[in-house]
Chain A
């Protein structure tokens, strides 16, 4: 069935899968956001343990989604893999270090003889929670603002800045730097908002819930400010457009705004996502316990929709999804960066398993989360982080 599809349909299909994985990843960063809130929401040792355990039971999902996001990108758009990872070396290195310490910190923090002590591992969890969303968000912003690289005739990639990626967050002479950082910070505060909502969903403890409600407001405001700044900025800047006849890349004023206007379905889903994120926050803040519990699902689904459609704005409608601002024609598009048709077809068959995977994740998730965590459970559980 996939064999009959046009090459470009398959390229779109795989970009949708990548976008979906990216969107799920951002939603699952609630684990990271939560890790940065443990000290604020938990005052006693018992409260901290409860919080660590509620997030600790989900770290594998974020981690696995990141791994799969990387693997799927490698498989479907290998030129992106070789250009961005080999080029923005420091950015990816820092993200990797942030993730190396996460899994171990959960597993080791409360074990005796653990070398770094509980405080040490909790600090590493905070480090992971801060670095991962900020850097991933900043990196995704460059899908709109571009990076300095060029690709040779033999498809070898070269980065054109000796800071190898750090310049995208540090070069204050470029206005794009602030756009990049604003998305990084927006994702960071969003992950904290989602973390708080997840606490409402899974923890049964009055004091923690009371503090969480306060924290929700404190984190929602900066999230909205940074997100709106990012959104308005990219709608106003020139975008990297592809001439469909010649495949030439050129700068088009208001390209991303045009993309929204020219893809009404994307716009509708994007706006629905924004509304859902806000609705989840409002619901949780103003309502009683019962409404707050479900808020994560509204904001979570909203997050997935927003990020998914941001990817579409960056890569569909004849737009270069990983643009180069030092050599325009080296910009990566879903057409020039993709794997061969054969490979995309083969992997498309594998992708048919995704709904099945999502189904068993949902089932397992529900069976573990069917009861909210309370002190009693922490006392009786044999595997406590």
Chain B
């Protein structure tokens, strides 16, 4: 921590981002399509109609192609916490590791065991057991998401723990607080629901391709029918959980909230920026501030979104850095000072212990149990690693754009599902080629929206790896940047080759169509 190697930090972040982005190209489809497959197989078992078996098996093949690469990149992510973020692993292992272990025991085995039955059990097990297996794959993969998102939620809003100065780490004191933290629950629901949307858009897109090509029309219509209902239901849920998340962020991560909206100066009755473009501010007095080149505002909505009150004050970036006495906001300058006191206390304690000064050590140790010290000093521990408060501001344009792209894609997809459902019910899909083309284009859009969602979640909280407690630059392993640069490029190469193979196989499989799958 003494000598910060900026190159090491940047490349470690790049490697993690690379792995996470690749991982997230495959996971949302897995989360959603497994449920769609389970629904389709249920219809098959209920009706006995072989057409539904054909539909189920085709989407299962697509799932298989996608799944393999998702688990592979997932393994890398898990181990990268250790290889590249070893200081982090120790600082939070007592909390973060637990959900990860539960995930392995409860979710991964369920998923992998029943996937084998799902793929290879058609002629080996009863129809009913096969159907149960398919449902368990869906439940297992979504349970995996639960635990890792609980861990991520904890990083955004650390709860249920206490710092132990003897071991220099955070230790869990309440498992349920960690599991049922509103941040974690919202994050989980918002993530899986939005993944269901992506899967629905994927199924609709490919089905639209068949309709454009004037083939597999029964298959395509049935698939679109199931997917658009599924997509529409979960779009509404995604909006609801997104709204809840926004309130949660306004409360626990006000800086991220302000950055999402490009809000520099707080105000009551704050407007929501529906769309806009940021530019550098030319005022030399305010070097850290960006301005809107243009924007569309909806008055009062941001205040309402954040606090359910149009007149509520929403703090801007400037208020958070410089403080706002009227609103009771402690400045970052102040927080840095308090953080430094907390860290000094820890160092004094270590020294007193080393020197055998029992009395002093005991009195310093007691501070870490004292609620007043925790609330007013230790809670700003991470700030002690900064000297300039402006270093504690995330990349505002990146946060602003990714947030707005995510929201725009979300609302666009709702419209898509409504129209798709309408045409599917009326059985007129084949007549509207323009719509089918839009549906096809919506596939990559859904991916962009989904990735943007993670980008705002992760970039928006920088420079923190654990909000207010651990800055990203103190979390890295004690290794040389050259090593990380090498592994970054090797991973980039491997992932890219696999992605190209995946896309080629997928395209080929789609072209071949569901008929080939039928025995």
Contacts and interface: CB of A to CB of B under 8 A. Distances in A.
A158 B478 contact: yes
Interface string A57-89: 110110110111011101110110111111101
B86 A103 contact: no
A353 B111 CA distance: 15
Contacts of A155: 90, 167-169
B18 to A, nearest CB: 13
A contact residues, range: 35 or more
B477 interface: yes
A67 B105 CA distance: 10
B265 interface: no
Contacts of B498: 100-101, 104
Interface in A104-134: 104, 106-108, 111-116
Contacts of B509: 111
B86 A87 contact: yes
Nearest to A100: B72
Most chain A CB within 10 A, of B71, B97, B110, B129, is at B97
Given A157-B478, A343-B171, A97 B517 contact: no
B93 A85 contact: no
A63 B86 contact: no
A89 B502 CA distance: 29
Nearest to B490: A97
B contact residues, range: 35 or more
Contacts, number: 266
B405 interface: no
Given A75-B93, A89-B83, A96-B79, A346 B490 contact: no
B112 interface: yes
The secondary structure that dominates the A interface is: helix
B175 interface: yes
B69 interface: yes
Interface stretch (A40-48, A233-241, A363-371): A363-371
Contacts of B78: 67, 70-71, 74
Interface stretch (B60-68, B272-280, B458-466): B60-68
Contacts of B110: 357, 360
A94 B324 CA distance: 52
Contacts of B350: 153-154
Given A75-B101, A78-B89, A342-B173, A368 B75 contact: no
What 8 A-B pairs have minimum CB-CB distances, sorted nearest first? A78-B93, A85-B82, A86-B86, A68-B104, A75-B97, A60-B112, A86-B477, A75-B101
Interface of A: 57-58, 60-61, 63-64, 66-68, 70-72, 74-76, 78-79, 81-87, 89-90, 92-93, 96-97, 99-104, 106-108, 111-116, 153-159, 162, 164, 339-340, 342-343, 346-347, 350-351, 353-354, 357, 360-361, 364-365, 367-368, 370-371, 380-383
28 contacts: A60-B116, A64-B111, A67-B74, A68-B108, A70-B78, A74-B78, A75-B97, A82-B82, A84-B82, A85-B86, A87-B477, A89-B483, A93-B83, A100-B72, A100-B73, A101-B498, A107-B67, A154-B350, A155-B169, A159-B479, A339-B98, A343-B94, A357-B105, A360-B113, A361-B109, A367-B125, A382-B122, A383-B60
